[in-house]
Amino acid sequence: MNHARVYEIRVDGFASLAEAIGAQDPIAHLLCPDEWHRGPCEIPWSLGVADDAGDPDRAALVVGVLSTREKALELLRPIGEVTGRSAVLVEADPSDYEELVEQHRIEALLAE
């Protein structure tokens, strides 16, 4: 059985934090094309920025998702296309994404 877990989709290589922040809106639209939809998004997600893992003078866009590994992997290509950079998937610490875990828990209770 394939359970939902917390993953980060990292896009490194931005020249600055401001450039990484600027890439957030198109990613948000990709993840949630209709911000006024009823109910929760299919995949709980969040956006943030961090230092580039390979170059401390550059920045990374970090997309947190709570999903199956397969669904998270499906997001790599479109996120890479939107940013013009490679996107990589890494397993994340759920305590870093408590809002996603809580959203998932509440939605599971409502679905019962």
Looking up residue 98, the CATH number of its domain turns out to be 3.30.70.1070
Range of the domain at 14: 5-111
* Residue indicated by tokens 């599971």: 108
Task: Specify the pLDDT at position 2.
Answer: 66
Task: Specify the pLDDT at position 112.
Answer: 65
Structural domains of the chain, count: 1
pLDDT one-digit tens code per residue, 51-81:
888 888 999 999 999 999 999 999 999 999 9
Least confident piece of the model among 42-46, 77-81, 91-95: 42-46
How many residues are recorded in the chain? 112
Does the pLDDT of residue 1 top 70, yes or no?
no
